[in-house]
Amino acid sequence: MLEKEYQDRRRLACADLQARTWDGLVVSTPVNVRYLSGFTGSSAALVLEPGGQALLFTDPRYAIQAGEETGCRVRVVKGPLPTAVSRHLARRRLRRIGFENTRISFAAHQELSRGATLEPAETLIEDRRMIKSPAEIELIRQSMLVASRAYDRVIRAVRPGMTEAAVAAELDHQMRRLGAEGPAFPTIVAAGPRSALPHASPGPVALKANQLLLIDMGASRNGYASDMTRTVFLGRPAVKAGKMYRAVLEAQQAAIATVRDGVQAAAVERAARRRLRADGLDRAFVHSTGHGLGLEIHEAPRIGRRDKTLLRAGMVVTIEPGVYLEGYGGIRIEDTVAVTADGCEVLTPNSKELAAL
Ligand code: ZN
Ligand code: ZN
């Protein structure tokens, strides 16, 4: 990411401060610090002032790294960062301070409020992060390709007798080999009836012939997440599985066809549910249709039945309807898509035909 992009992001955040007549904003969530400064360390606080000044606090472990990663001024401090930030605010006579009320600890809040009046910033930075720049969309695309290739490499070797855990380990291994820092979230590999648990964690369970296998995975690459789910059948697909699969796939395609700039998130969910209802499966769809992603695997907006957020060009979201039948299994199909002015671009290139392994 070019330094210019970080400068632009800080300029927008500083304009938000001016509009609220705050004297400063303390950003203490590492992922938001990264978004505004480029610094990737886990110990960080960024103080922004309306005039555009930006000062990054970190501890001595990150002194070299901070110098390499950010164009902001850096202050390396020993001891708790909130204490150092609080002293800095007092010295600069900054009184009305925005803080990340949805993310900060109670102890940090107490420390920061010693000399300042704290104003909840709510999701100020998260709201900005919803709309991705072209450079960010490219990074998500690259992250998606890593996960996609790892999936294609591993899936052709999957056989009954392997365990869920072994398949998950192989997927994670291949993602790293292909350039990921690691998985974006714990990889899900769930076989047979366990695929009816939308967030099953892979265990020492051996895959059997003639059952469903659900794989939900994503890479983290250059900090950006990707997310995909494919469901396959071990053996020749049973009629029931084939019918369920068709319904989920058509629901997913209907949802994707609805995505474009200006559409309400809830409308996308309605499109998926309408198709599932035709097969009496909408009640087996127990989660929402999707979520934004970027520097985090789950970001705004959420795509659920009550979400009034308007989708905007530049948002990147997942579309992932699924149906789950207790005792039988679950089917979910998930792509990562980038919203455009007149539709969306599907970033997940993998086939969605029901594969028979
Ligand atoms: Zn997923
Ligand atoms: Zn997802």
CATH of the domain at 258: 3.90.230.10
Confidence band, pLDDT 50/70/90 cuts, at residue 78: very high
Q: How far away, in angstroms, is 334 Cα from ligand 2 center?
A: 7
Residues 6 or more apart whose Cβ sits within 8 Å of residue 19:
none
- For residue 254, what pLDDT is reported? 98
Q: Is residue 354 assigned to a domain? A: no
Gap from CA of 262 to ligand 2 centroid (Å): 22
The Å distance, Cα 217 to ligand 1 centre, comes to 6
Looking at 127, 147, 168, the residue that finishes a domain is 127
Same domain, residue pair 113 and 168: no
Tell me which residue range forms the domain holding 31.
3-127
Rounded distance from Cα 240 to ligand 1 centre (Å): 24
Q: What is the pLDDT of residue 234?
A: 96
- CA 220–ligand 2 middle distance (angstroms): 13
Query: Is residue 214 domain-shared with residue 303, that is, in the same domain?
Result: yes
pLDDT, tens digit, for every residue of 153-206? Answer: 999 999 999 999 999 999 999 999 999 999 999 999 999 999 999 888 999 999
Give domain status of residue 337, yes or no: yes
* pLDDT level of residue 1 (50, 70, 90 thresholds): confident
Task: Tell me the CA–centroid distance for residue 76 and ligand 1, in Å.
Answer: 38
User: Does the pLDDT value for residue 2 go beyond 90?
Assistant: no
Do 301 and 328 fall within a single domain? yes
In a domain, 355, yes or no: no
108: CA distance to ligand 1 center in Å? Answer: 33
In a domain, 167, yes or no: yes
Report CA(228)–ligand 1 centroid distance (Å). 5
241 CA distance to ligand 2 middle (Å): 22
Q: Are residues 330 and 251 in the same domain?
A: yes
Average pLDDT value for the chain:
97
Give mean pLDDT, residues 234-258.
96
The CATH number that applies at residue 60 is: 3.40.350.10
Which ligand is closest in space to the CA of residue 217?
Answer: 1
Beta strands in 188-312 (DSSP E): 188-191, 211-217, 219-221, 224-225, 228-234, 290-292, 299-303
Residues 44 and 99 in one domain: yes
Over the stretch 109-150, which tens digit does the pLDDT of each residue have? Answer: 999 999 899 999 999 999 999 999 999 999 999 999 999 999
* 357 is a domain residue: no
Closest ligand, as measured to the CA of 333: 1
Q: What is the reported pLDDT for 202? A: 95
Compute the distance from residue 237 Cα to the ligand 1 centre, in Å: 23
Instruction: Name the percent of the chain lying above pLDDT 70.
Output: 100
Residue where a domain stops, chosen among 112, 127, 142:
127
Q: 221 and 325 share a domain?
A: yes
Q: Are residues 218 and 301 located together in one domain of the fold?
A: yes
Residue 123 and residue 184 share a domain: no
* Stretch 276-300: mean pLDDT: 97
Per-residue confidence (pLDDT) for residue 19, from 0 to 100? 96
Tokens of 241: 């599985």
Instruction: Tell me the whole-structure pTM to 2 decimals.
Output: 0.96
* DSSP helix/strand/coil, 33: helix
Chosen domain end from 67, 99, 127: 127
The count of domains in the chain is 2
Determine contact, residues 243/279, Cβ cutoff 8 Å: yes
Ligand at shortest distance from the CA of 289: 2
Report how far ligand 1's centroid is from the alpha carbon of 18 (Å): 38
Task: Report CA(336)–ligand 2 centroid distance (Å).
Answer: 8
Closest of 32, 35, 26 to residue 90, by C-alpha: 26
Residues 290, 340, single domain; the answer is yes
Distance 333 CA to ligand 2 centre (A): 10
Same domain, 200 and 78: no
Residue 213 and residue 230: Cα distance in Å, rounded? 8
Domain identity same for 98 and 152: no
139 located within any domain: yes
Q: Contact, 238 vs 208, CB < 8 A?
A: no
Residue 252: CB atoms within 10 Å: 25
356 in a structural domain = no
Given pLDDT bands bounded at 50, 70 and 90, which one contains residue 58? very high
Q: 185 CA to middle of ligand 2, Å?
A: 10
In a domain, 56, yes or no: yes
Q: Are residues 314 and 214 in the same domain?
A: yes
